[in-house]
Amino acid sequence: MGISFVRVYKANCNRLFLDNMDNENLVKDVVKEPYKYGFVTDIETEKIAKGLNESIIRLISQKKEEPKFLLDFRLKAFKKWKKMDEPDWAGLGYKKIDYQNIIYYSAPKQKEKISSLNEVDPKLLETFDKLGIPLTEQKKLTNVAVDAVFDSVSIATTFREELAGHGVIFCSISEAVKNHPDLIEKYLGTVVPASDNYFAALNSAVFSDGSFVYIPKGVTCPMDLSSYFRINSGDSGQFERTLIIAEESSSVSYLEGCTAPMFDTNTLHAAVVELIALDDASIKYSTVQNWYAGDEEGVGGIFNFVTKRGKCLGKRSKISWSQVETGSAITWKYPSCLLLGEESVGEFYSVALTNNLQQADTGTKMIHIGPKTKSTIVSKGISAGNSINSYRGLVKMGTKAAGSRNYSQCDSMLIGDQASANTFPYIKSKQPNSEIEHEASTCRISEDQLFYLQSRGIEFEEAVSMMVSGFCRDVFNQLPMEFAAEADKLLALKLEGSVG
Amino acid sequence: MKESDPLLEVENLFASTNNLPILKGVSLTVYPGEIHAIMGRNGCGKSTFSKIIAGHPSYNITNGEIKFLGENINSSEPEERAQSGIFLGFQYPIEIPGVSNLEFLRVSTNARRKFLNKEELDTFDFEELVKEKLELVKMDHAFLSRSVNQGFSGGEKKRNEILQMALLEPKIAILDETDSGLDIDALRIVASGIKKISNGQTGIILITHYQRLLDEIEPNYVHVMADGQIIKTGGSDLALELEKKGYEWTDNFLKETN
């Protein structure tokens, strides 16, 4: 039984009307690139029955051989979730999710205990190879440690021994529960409490796997850490949970990538990420999200409801989020910072690109609690096709946040005349001695700009992608170098077919 | 000079935008090494003429044809025209935020080189080439790391246009009011740059209001345009006459012919 790749090529002849260009002036029709990560890995999986109830949660916890405190955490979250309503304030339009029709645990069948990578099913290794994330000793990326998550479980984590030599713990959260239960019990749910919101409560009840990072005091993590999330199964949700703890004076850069096969059904992805930075610690968290977005008719695609939050507990601590959101049918995501420590710093750099019928509602919350805290928000939204792209952000200055500052810049770019862009900035200040600055702009790629580039011999598509990259430059500059190049290529690929 | 084939042949060209006729029968032929000046008051169709040659999508050719190197290019894309050797120096060069000038120049130069079956240049080789060309227009290296034309002064934008011309080595260059916004020194630098680049081979169309550019680059022909037509063609002395008598003179001329 080999691995089978299901590829769907769809010709898409979209037409773009730039500014007031009329029909006569439309430039070209082009064939859209297929989603190149849309294959399915044919592998035997262990799935539990569909549906969600207390016994399912007990079953998940039992499968993972969890300690009692974690089962209690899950059950408490489930109780809360049952009393909550799915939020609708983002005004997203989608078919109601049937939570009883989802499989909450799906794992590729493997040997009971895997002691080394050589025992990982070659099909899984091949899958990650194909996604550009080689895991084997010979081929693994040399400058970055990877935790590969396939559906509900972590498959492998590279460079563990090397990292352990520096005292850095990098493993799946399931392993962390077994090997470092004290850290899990101390920190899990302290940044995003189970009752925080509907999707966080759901995740807290059913989360299956994810990554765990612990950077000890004074250590600068010797390499970038990354998790790669792969949804393979069509009918199971993915509920991963990530916890990163940076002790005093430590620092780490963490990258996250995601892809999924093309199914004509919607798959729910509800993750929770918690970051904790103590005195003088710094965490940089970068995401390139490329879940399957559905086709041009809006069929299929991932529903991405994610809660990401960082707590700057320590003095002068810093948490920086950067994200490039290009995939998913629906994105509902607000990576945030709680700035408690004096002089702590929160940053949010975001590029969100939507095309066809995608909907993105994304932004951040910067909650200034401690004095002299500082936050920066740079958001770039690009909407093409019939998509809706919204920035939603909250900047809050608490009563003790004297001398705190925020700067926000939210720019939108519209491509075509059917796409929409919204900006919803919420500002609340209880501290007169604080500064909040907000700038916003909306632009279109102008016909004159395109003509200028074309009149220098640059092809139409390349001209558009140069301008889009230019528009995103401030954010790309914040990404780790290799990620930035990838993000650039990804945007160009995503836009093919939307212009022309 | 006319032993070789013409570069550009514009024959009885009519064009409109939003159903408004702008060009009303323009004919013009340019041979290699020739310098043509087109003069005329604002709104006479000079800039439109240059944009149509370069392929701007806002204008429709309703009659007549444009031939470049003997081939009809009426419906060619702007990038095809540029790659094959047509260059338009913009009256108002466009700002492109976030796109580095160096990268823009490199991608553009490589597009032309690819057309010419020349090897495309990587960042390092291109830096060498661009350094050499910067000399021609006396531009500082620092311009390369800025966004395309963003925050450039009027004069800097014009020099950046000539830098592009130097890199692309076009067969024909249409320079739309390249002299406007330049002080005397900058004008001399730009004019000498143009002369060096063309090296007596490039066909040049200078669109201008003023004699001072033509003092630096002496044209073989001067065309006076009014109401979408070339109403008078002469030698370089025609420009001097125009300078003396003003455009009212051409208005009268237009009345007479109509």
- Find, in chain B, the residue whose alpha carbon is nearest to that of A467: B99
CB proximity list for A118: less than 8 A, separation 6 or greater:
none
List, in sequence order, the alpha helices (H) in A131-211.
160-165, 173-179, 181-187, 198-206
Of A447, A452, A456, the CB nearest to B57: A447
Instruction: Quote the minimal CA–CA distance from B39 to chain A in Å.
Output: 23
Q: Which residues make Cβ contacts (< 8 Å) with residue A246, sequence separation at least 6?
A: A215, A252, A275, A276, A277, A278, A281, A282, A283, A317
Report whether A289 contacts A324 (CB < 8 A).
Answer: yes
Q: If residue A80 lies in a helix (H) or strand (E), which one and from where to where?
A: helix A68-83
The contacts of residue A480 (CB under 8 Å, 6+ apart) are A224, A253, A255, A286
B47: contact with A, CB 8 A cutoff: no
Q: Do A454 and B58 touch (CB under 8 A)?
A: no
B250 pLDDT above the threshold of 70: yes
Determine, yes or no, domain membership for B136.
Answer: no
For this complex, say whether ipTM is above 0.90: yes
Least CB-CB distance to B99: which of A454, A459, A466? A466
Pick the residue of B94, B152, B171 with the most A CBs within 10 A to test the interface with A by mutation.
B94
User: Is B40 touching A (CB cutoff 8 A)?
Assistant: no
B96, B100, B109, B165: best to mutate for the A interface, most A CBs within 10 A: B96
Contacts with B82 from chain A: Cβ below 8 Å: 454-457
Least confident of A258-262, B47-51, B237-241: A258-262
- Phi (first) and psi of residue A179, to 5 degrees: -95, -25
Residue A318 has pLDDT above 90, yes or no: yes
Q: Of B77, B90, B107, which is closest to A462 when you measure between CB atoms?
A: B107
Task: Give yes or no for B56 touching A (CB within 8 A).
Answer: yes
Neighbours of A318 (CB within 10 A): 24
Say how far apart CA A259 and CA A35 lie, in whole Å: 10
| Residue-wise pLDDT tens digits, B163-221 | 999 999 999 999 999 998 888 888 999 999 999 998 889 999 999 988 889 999 999 99
Q: What residue in A sits closest to B56 (Cα-Cα)?
A: A451
Asked if B81's CB is within 8 angstroms of A456's CB, the reply is no
Higher per-residue pLDDT: A353 or A266: A353
- Letter for the amino acid at B142? A
Question: What is the pLDDT, as a whole number, of residue A237?
Answer: 81
User: Taking the CA of residue A150 as centre, how many other CA atoms within 13 Å lie in the half-sphere pointing to its CB?
Assistant: 28
pLDDT at A264 over 80: no
What would the pLDDT profile of A267-289 be if each residue is shown by its tens digit? Answer: 888 999 999 999 999 999 998 88
Asked if residue B147 is part of any domain, the answer here is no
Q: Give, rounded to a whole angstrom, the gap between the first and last alpha carbons of chain B.
A: 34
Placement of tokens 């809006």 in the chain: A298
Q: Considering chain A, what is the average pLDDT of its residues?
A: 83
B79 to chain A: closest CA residue? A457
How close, in Å, is residue A455 to chain B by CA atoms? Answer: 5
Q: What is the pLDDT of residue A31?
A: 25
Residue B95, min C-alpha distance to chain A (Å): 7
Please spell the DSSP secondary structure of A210-276, one letter per residue. Answer: -EEEEE-TTPBPSSEEEEEEE---SSB-B--EEEEEE-TT-EEEEEEEEE----SSEEEE--EEEEE
Domain annotation covers residue B146 = no
Work out the minimum CA distance from A471 to partner chain B, whole angstroms.
6
Is the Cβ–Cβ distance between B62 and B52 less than 8 Å? no
Going by their DSSP bridges, the two strands A45-47 and A106-108 should be labelled as antiparallel
The angle at the Cα of A391, spanning A388 to A392, to the nearest 5 degrees, equals: 120
Cα A124 to Cα A278: distance, rounded to the nearest angstrom: 37
A52: its two tokens: 């969600």
Q: In one letter, which amino acid is A459?
A: E
Q: Which domain holds residue B43?
A: 8-94+171-257
User: Taking 50 as the threshold, does the pLDDT of residue A20 lie above it?
Assistant: no
Does position A2 have pLDDT exceeding 50, yes or no?
no
Cα–Cα nearest to A410, from A452, A434, A442: A442
pLDDT of A29 higher than 50: no
Banded model confidence at residue A1, pLDDT cuts 50, 70, 90: very low
Per the CB < 8 A criterion, the answer to whether A77 and A52 are in contact is no
Rounded Cα distance between A483 and B123, Å, is 20
Burial class (CB in 10 A: 0-12, 13-18, 19+), A297: exposed
- Confirm whether B222 is domain-assigned: yes
Q: Is the pLDDT of residue A71 over 80?
A: yes
Interval A225-248 mean pLDDT: 85
Query: Tens digits of per-residue pLDDT, A197-225?
Result: 999 999 999 998 889 999 999 999 998 88
On whether residue B19 sits in a domain, the answer given is yes
Do the chains contact at A452 and B99, CB–CB below 8 Å? no
Which residues from A are below 8 Å from B164, CB to CB? Answer: 456
Higher pLDDT, B30 or A486: B30
| Closest CA of chain B from A447, distance in Å | 8
Q: What distance in Å separates the CA atoms of residue A171 and residue A25, rounded to the nearest whole number?
A: 55
- Count of Cβ atoms closer than 10 Å to residue A95 Cβ: 7
Higher-confidence residue: A314 or B258? A314
* Contact: A470, B164; criterion CB under 8 Å: no
Residue B230: its H or E element? strand B229-234
Flag if B99 and A470 touch (Cβ within 8 Å). yes
Cβ of residue B20 closer than 8 Å to a chain A Cβ: no
Residue A12: its pLDDT value, please?
24
- Residue of A24, A448, A457 with shortest CB distance to B94: A448
pLDDT above 70: residue A7: no
**Which residue in this structure is represented by tokens 């590969």?**
A148
**In angstroms, what separates the C-alpha of B12 from chain A's closest C-alpha?**
23
pLDDT tens-digit readout, A290-317:
878 888 887 888 889 999 999 999 999 9
Query: Residue A401's closest CA among A376, A425, A366, A426?
Result: A366
Q: How sure is the predictor about A4, in pLDDT bands with cuts at 50, 70 and 90? A: very low
pLDDT at A152: 64
Q: Which residues of B touch A25 (CB under 8 A)?
A: 57-58
pLDDT tops 70 at residue A119: no
Would you call A448 an interface residue with chain B, using a CB distance cutoff of 8 Å? yes
Chain B residue at shortest CA distance from A21: B58
pLDDT reported for residue A128: 72
Residue B83 in domain: yes
Query: Is B245 part of a structural domain of the chain?
Result: yes
High-pLDDT (> 90) share of chain A, %: 49
Confidence of residue B26 (pLDDT cuts 50, 70, 90): very high
Q: Please write the tens of the pLDDT for every residue from B2-21.
A: 568 999 999 999 999 999 99
Q: Where are the alpha helices (DSSP H) in B144-226?
A: 154-168, 184-198, 211-216
For residue A476, what is the nearest residue in chain B, using CA coordinates? B98
Percent of chain B with pLDDT over 70: 97
Instruction: Sort out which chain A residues have CB atoms less than 8 A from B79's CB and list them.
Output: 454-460
> For chain B, what is the domain count?
1
Residue B215 in any domain: the answer is yes
User: Considering CB atoms only, which of B58, B98, B147 is closest to A25?
Assistant: B58
Residue B172, pLDDT score: 97
Kindly state the average pLDDT of the residues A9-25: 27
Closest residue of A to B163, CA-based? A456
**pLDDT for residue A117:** 63
| A449 in contact with chain B, both atoms CB, cutoff 8 A | yes
Cα–Cα distance between A173 and A213 in angstroms, integer? 9
Residue A499: pLDDT band with limits 50, 70, 90 = low
Measured distance CA(A68)–CA(B251) in Å, rounded: 96
Q: How far is CA A58 from CA A99, A200, A210, B249, B250, in A?
A: 17, 18, 19, 96, 93
Between CA A74 and CA A77 the distance in angstroms is 5
Place of tokens 């004076």: A249
Instruction: Give the count of beta carbons closer than 10 Å to the beta carbon of residue A33.
Output: 15
Looking at residue A469, its pLDDT comes to: 87
**What pLDDT band is residue B104 in, cutting at 50, 70 and 90?**
very high
Question: Is B147 in contact with A471 (Cβ distance < 8 A)?
Answer: no
Whether B99 sits inside 8 A of A448 (CB atoms) is no
Quote the pLDDT of residue A35: 66
Q: What whole-number distance in Å separates Cα of residue A416 and Cα of residue A444?
A: 8
Higher pLDDT, A152 or A380: A380
Question: What confidence score (pLDDT) does residue A491 get?
Answer: 76
Q: Which residues of B touch A21 (CB under 8 A)?
A: 57-58
**A24 lies within 8 A of chain B by CB:** yes
Question: How many contacts (CB atoms, under 8 Å) link A and B?
Answer: 83
Put simply, whether B79 touches A (Cβ < 8 Å) is: yes
Say if B115 is an interface residue toward chain A (CB within 8 Å). yes
Q: Does A462 touch chain B (CB under 8 A)?
A: yes
Q: Is B123 on the interface with A (CB under 8 A)?
A: no
Q: Tell me: pLDDT of A13 over 50.
A: no
> What CATH number is attached to the domain comprising B16?
3.40.50.300
The pLDDT of residue A109 is above 50: yes
